[in-house]
Structure 1
Amino acid sequence: MSRAARTVTSKDVARVAGVSQSTVSYVMSGKRPISEKTRRLVEDAIEQLTYRPNAGARALASQRTQVIAVAMPFDSALGAAGLMAFIEEITLAARQRDHDVLLVTAAEGVEGLRRVAGGALCDAIVLMEVRTDDPRARIARDLRVPTMFVGFPADDQGLHCIDFDFEDGARLLVAELTRNRRVTVLGWGPEAVERDLNYVPRFRAAAEATAAAAGVELDWVPLHRDRVERQVRDVLAGGSRALLVTTHLARVVHAVQDAGLRPGTDLDLVALATDADATGFPVPVTAVSQHPRDVSRQAMTWLFELLDGTAAGTGLRRVPASIARRGSVRPAP
């Protein structure tokens, strides 16, 4: 029977690679360390034979589901684009390890967490939109599957938590504006504050401390999504010429332009925004990116280390902040 007429098995891969069948299994599962030379032989044989292991058989043998659950809201303060960056990277990382992704709405809360973990629906869980007082933190330690928090709950003892360094991001942004004695922060709206999203107080505390040390006053203006432009007009009419924006950047910039003002010439404007969001204007905005893709990649790397038994300990990990200086801040006199 020709190779094209029958299903290729791991035994075929082992024969072509010149290794044992168990070695093929270890390369694919990552359960044991394999030399780079042997790994390459097996991977080349897999590609040559176009081998695709049966997911059901592999899950049965390993007692795994080959599924990563992601608990996320569909009305995130990050917006659709921000959420998509996270989900794309999580899905890509999962598929690279031959896992699928199961989306669980954050509205299910603790019960959703118990359902997917207790029902053996997944191998691990990623939790997004973490609250400062997050009830999921209280039960995550008792779940039978590894759990990764993208964010820092106040009760983080014994948990695995990773996030962008919002504190350092705040310090970098405020430092760009210290030539001004007063800075207006166009910040997250009431919906983010009311939901107790953990990064909001973290960012604000660091910004306040940095401003106080530099003798700068911060005026906080929570942006309401239904009246952003009106709020920006009011701020500008009040004489503010230093803006720090954490949300609705495009609408803020357009409102500034509609007022006949140019960032970098008539006022200083900096933002917490991805590079893609910060550079789509006539005057690119000086910004600190939240690095959603880096956060997702590192979260998934850590999660699979937990699944493979190679991760050490618990704790908090921060993705470093950096600032990209563009043309939206006036040159120093």
Structure 2
Amino acid sequence: MAAFTSKDVARIAGVSQSTVSYVMTGKRPISERTRRRVLDAMEELTYEPHSGARALAGRRTQVVGLVVPFGAGGETLALLPFIETIASSARVHDHEVLLVTADEGSAGLRRLAGRALCDAIIMMDIEEHDDRVPVAAALSVPVVLIGVPADPAGLHCVDLDFEAAARMAVDELADTGHDEIVVLGYTASAMERGLNFVGRVLRTVRRQARVRGLPLTVIEPVERGREAAATVADQLLARRTGGRLGVLVPHSDTIVPLLHALRQRDVVPGRDISLIGLSSDRAAEQSDPPYTNVSEEPRDVSRRAMETLFWLLDPSSGVERPAIDLVAPRLTRRTTVLPAPSH
């Protein structure tokens, strides 16, 4: 017989997992209508909260499953801050981390939950239309997504607010009097797979450029490496027609090779053109030259994801977490954006 949990009750009743907890414990007032839906769902599933909770506690593995995009075109170095922070947060809660590669797909998720290998799962590398999401939503253990798919299927999602980051970058170039924006798009692999942040960034950039009345060109795909950066640098120089050109690079692995290619062509960001990168503050500060960036802080995102995960494991342990939790970005001005023209 299947061992149902409060998450299953929440899904059937159409409420949050914390609401199920409040109905069972009476810690907060719940409307009679909502209370009836929860009780009906418990009866439908033959869910027994007290004995079930004790059984679940006795089966705890003290392990968090982490599904990461190794072998799926992911950038290994970019994953390290996520993995380090998740592992550190797990240790604080007396848990270990079990890595599962994303190329295992839904089978890897079922293996984790079906064999009782972990208490909860963090999933990364989320596609906009991700076949794993409905599978994850049906598992008996809590699952938190780092990323926001088109349909989260009731799962909790934590991510950078990529829409706000895109608006922030476009507004900075508009406010400093630029005449045109060029966005360097993502790799062919990222676009083909439909990674959730790709669409979120590009749609918002296009929308905000229209709002601000700025001509916009998206160069895509843009592959990794110096050779691709050199090609892009030549394309950018061909677009210089005497106006103020602003370049937005929404993926950090292209920024340093592009700066190198521009330097070889005697083009100085902040003097000849403008450049804004979406990257961590650390990467922007350590670059030569340091570039203006909109923060992409993986450690903040990972920390919030783990807070959500452990709250799902024990809803009474803290403040209720939002279903979609977006980390606010911030823009830091350095040397690579032309100052606004004086009037």
Question: Shorter-chain TM-score: what band?
Answer: 0.7 to 0.9
Match of 2:204 among 206, 210, 220: 206
Encode CA deviations 1:236-265: one digit per residue, 9 max, x unaligned. 233273211122111111111111011111
1:102 is paired with a residue of what secondary structure?
Answer: strand
Describe the shift of the 1:169–1:76 C-alpha distance in structure 2 as closer, same or farther (beyond 3 A): farther
CA shift, 1:331, in A, is 1.1
CA distance in 1, matches of 2:98, 2:128: 25
Match of 1:180 among 175, 178, 181: 178
Match of 2:263 among 242, 245, 257: 257
1:126 is paired with a residue of what secondary structure?
Answer: strand
CA shift, 1:280, in A, is 2.2
Match of 1:244 among 234, 244, 248: 248
Equivalent residues in 2 for 1:111-190, closer than 5 Å: 111-178=107-174, 179-190=177-188
Partner of 2:303: 297
Identity %: 41
Gapped runs of 5+ residues in structure 1? 1-58
CA shift, 1:330, in A, is 1.0
1:320 aligns with 2:303: no
1:79 aligns with 2:75: yes
Equivalent residues in 2 for 1:4-43, closer than 5 Å: none
CA distance in 2, matches of 1:258, 1:280: 19
Q: Identify which range, 175-184 or 129-138, moves more after superposition.
A: 175-184
Describe the shift of the 1:144–1:260 C-alpha distance in structure 2 as closer, same or farther (beyond 3 A): same
- Contact (CA 8 Å) 1:157, 1:315: kept in 2 or not? no
Partner of 1:288: 294
2:217 is paired with a residue of what secondary structure?
Answer: strand
CA distance in 1, matches of 2:272, 2:170: 18
Partner of 1:330: 338
Encode CA deviations 1:186-225: one digit per residue, 9 max, x unaligned. 1211111111100111111111111101111211112122
Partner of 1:191: 189
Partner of 1:277: 283
- Contact (CA 8 Å) 1:149, 1:161: kept in 2 or not? yes
Describe the shift of the 1:199–1:61 C-alpha distance in structure 2 as closer, same or farther (beyond 3 A): closer
CA distance in 1, matches of 2:256, 2:173: 20
2:328 counterpart letter in structure 1: P
CA distance in 1, matches of 2:73, 2:201: 15
CA shift, 1:314, in A, is 6.1
- Give aligned pairs, total: 275
CA shift, 1:313, in A, is 7.0
CA distance in 1, matches of 2:296, 2:73: 13
1:182 counterpart letter in structure 2: E
1:279 is paired with a residue of what secondary structure?
Answer: helix
Encode CA deviations 1:51-110: one digit per residue, 9 max, x unaligned. xxxxxxxx9973211110000112566622320000000000001111111100100111
- Contact (CA 8 Å) 1:71, 1:126: kept in 2 or not? yes
Cα RMSD of the aligned pairs, angstroms, is 1.9
1:149 is paired with a residue of what secondary structure?
Answer: strand
Max Rg structure: 1
Match of 1:63 among 59, 64, 87: 59
CA shift, 1:141, in A, is 2.0
Describe the shift of the 1:295–1:288 C-alpha distance in structure 2 as closer, same or farther (beyond 3 A): same
CA distance in 2, matches of 1:275, 1:81: 16
Match of 1:106 among 102, 113, 127: 102
CA shift, 1:312, in A, is 3.9
Q: Identify which range, 127-136 or 310-319, moves more after superposition.
A: 310-319
Gapped runs of 5+ residues in structure 2? 1-54
CA distance in 1, matches of 2:133, 2:224: 30
1:251 is paired with a residue of what secondary structure?
Answer: helix
Partner of 2:6: none
- Contact (CA 8 Å) 1:71, 1:128: kept in 2 or not? yes
Encode CA deviations 1:153-176: one digit per residue, 9 max, x unaligned. 111241111110000000001111
CA distance in 2, matches of 1:321, 1:76: 27
- Contact (CA 8 Å) 1:181, 1:215: kept in 2 or not? no
